């Protein structure tokens, strides 16, 4: 009964708000498109039941009910990044004055709570229910020899903030409009491992520039080497496979590369007829969105969803059945997908979830000083059933 009452309340709010909000266009196939959505990671976020989509539209926060296609504006927010919590709470980084603030919004009641953070946030990700989240912030300094950016990652638990990563990246440019966050924001949290990616750009003298991918664990603060990826781009978006064992990255020509992070030599560049800058892996299947196309994780092209969409960004629903695509024209398209898996891909089934739970317990044992670092890595390898290797 409570669920029915809450659902009814949500639709009442929608009806009251629809007169003031431009509604998305819905075609006969039930697919929507919406104008005014910025081409950035975090410009759209799915509710955990995949029924609603929060969207940044013309500096406003809009919530779209996918089934009905109706939209509601949430007042009092100037959003720049969105992420949906497991329930009806929406996390938003919002503009306020000359800086940013972090807000938690109850979609049903409209209640907003400001979460205090030490440094102005750039993005936020939900971490572990019911009250843990990860916040990215950065300081930027333009000097005569280039641009220096200090990145910080913090874990907030019950309103208490703890910084678990700080790192500086040098970019050999004085341009103030360069993209320095999409590589950090686009992939989200690594499935199962529950770590954050920290891609660091390098430009050695006389050598080709590259990005070195590492992960850092919010619980233990331990860092792990992932891979080295040659690229001239200052910020390289990527996407995790459903079980977090592989990373999808596009090279400077926009070609998709799939890399086994447990064996860096196991990497392949696939389907040379398709290019894009921001791969997005279906969290429940084998499809990877790139540049307007769906590609299977074995490299087989499935179908073209949008033409001329090299720079587009795809954002999958948690159930893997819907895909929101933001294009250069600041238009969001919503496509319905039939998800499927092929060999080597492992969705988050019960066996994978058990591995995640065992790893959470292991992290707590190390954090509390009950096991040594060597014991931690030894037991972790056994949990994942991996051969012995260095994790540093």
Q: Give 390's pLDDT tier (boundaries 50, 70, 90).
A: very low
Query: Looking at residue 300, what is its pLDDT?
Result: 83
For range 180-194, the mean pLDDT: 93
> Residue 28's pLDDT is what?
77
Residue 383 domain-assigned (yes or no)? yes
Please indicate, yes or no, if residue 216 is contained in any of the structural domains. Answer: no
Residue 195 domain-assigned (yes or no): no
C-beta separation of 66 from 53 below 8 A: yes
Q: What is the mean pLDDT of the chain?
A: 88
Confidence of residue 91 (pLDDT cuts 50, 70, 90): very high
297 lies in a domain? no
Report the percentage of the chain scoring pLDDT > 90: 62
Q: State which residues form the domain around 380.
A: 350-392
What is the radius of gyration, based on Cα positions, of the chain? 21
Tell me which of 82, 115, 148 is where a domain ends: 115
Q: How far apart are CA 358 and CA 356, in angstroms?
A: 6
- Boundary (domain end) residue, out of 81, 115, 149: 115
- Phi and psi at 222, nearest 5°, equal -75, 140
Nearest to 278 by CA among 153, 181, 140, 149: 181
Res. 231: pLDDT tops 50: yes
Question: Residue 161: inside a domain, yes or no?
Answer: no
Share of the chain above pLDDT 70, in %: 93
Q: How many domains does the chain have?
A: 2
pLDDT recorded at residue 386:
62
Which is more confidently placed, 126 or 20? 126
| 3-state secondary structure (DSSP) of residue 153 | strand
pLDDT given for residue 388 in this prediction: 55
| Residue 186 within any structural domain of the chain | no
Confidence at residue 345, expressed as pLDDT on a 0 to 100 scale:
78
Residue 44 lies in a domain: yes
CA–CA distance, 284 with 92 (Å, rounded to integer): 25
Report pLDDT digits (tens) over 16-71: 444 468 888 887 777 888 899 999 999 999 999 999 999 999 999 999 998 888 89
Of 53, 83, 115, which residue sits at a domain end? 115
Quick one: DSSP state of residue 71?
E
CATH number at residue 49: 2.120.10.30
pLDDT of residue 382 exceeding 70, the answer is yes
pLDDT of residue 1: 44
72 in any annotated domain: yes
């Amino acid at each position: 009964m409570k669920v029915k009452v809450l659902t009814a309340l949500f639709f009442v709010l929608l009806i009251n708000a629809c007169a003031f909000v431009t509604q998305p266009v819905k075609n006969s196939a039930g697919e929507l498109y919406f104008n005014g959505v910025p081409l950035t990671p975090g410009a759209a976020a799915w509710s955990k039941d995949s029924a609603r989509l929060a969207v940044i539209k013309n500096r406003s926060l809009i919530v779209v009910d996918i089934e009905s296609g109706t939209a509601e504006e949430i007042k009092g927010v100037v959003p720049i990044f969105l992420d949906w919590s497991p329930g009806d709470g929406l996390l938003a980084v919002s503009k306020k004055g000359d800086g940013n603030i972090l807000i938690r919004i109850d979609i049903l009641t409209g209640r907003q709570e400001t979460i205090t953070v030490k440094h102005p946030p750039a993005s936020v990700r939900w971490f572990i229910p019911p009250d843990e989240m990860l916040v990215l912030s950065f300081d930027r300094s333009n000097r005569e020899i280039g641009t220096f950016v200090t990145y910080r990652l913090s874990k907030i638990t019950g309103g208490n903030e703890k910084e678990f990563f700080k790192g500086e990246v040098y970019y050999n440019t004085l341009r103030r409009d360069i993209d320095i966050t999409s590589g950090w924001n686009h992939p989200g949290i690594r499935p199962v491992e529950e770590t954050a990616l920290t891609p660091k750009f390098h430009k050695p003298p006389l050598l080709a520039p590259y990005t070195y991918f590492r992960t850092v664990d919010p619980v233990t603060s331990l860092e792990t080497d992932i891979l080295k990826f040659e690229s001239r781009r200052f910020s390289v978006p990527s996407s995790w496979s459903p079980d977090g064992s592989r990373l999808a990255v596009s090279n400077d020509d926009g070609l998709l590369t799939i890399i086994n992070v447990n064996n860096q030599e196991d990497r392949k560049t696939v389907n040379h007829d398709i290019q894009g800058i921001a791969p997005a892996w279906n969290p429940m299947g084998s499809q990877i969105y790139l540049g307007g196309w769906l590609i299977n994780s074995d490299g087989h092209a499935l179908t073209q969803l949008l033409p001329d969409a090299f720079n587009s960004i795809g954002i999958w629903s948690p159930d893997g059945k819907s895909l929101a695509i933001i294009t250069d024209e600041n238009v969001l398209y919503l496509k319905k997908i039939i998800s499927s898996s092929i060999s080597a891909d492992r969705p988050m089934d019960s066996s994978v979830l058990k591995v995640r739970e065992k790893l959470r317990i292991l992290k707590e044992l190390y954090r509390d000083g009950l096991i040594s670092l060597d014991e931690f890595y030894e037991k972790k390898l056994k949990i994942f059933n991996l051969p012995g290797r260095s994790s540093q």
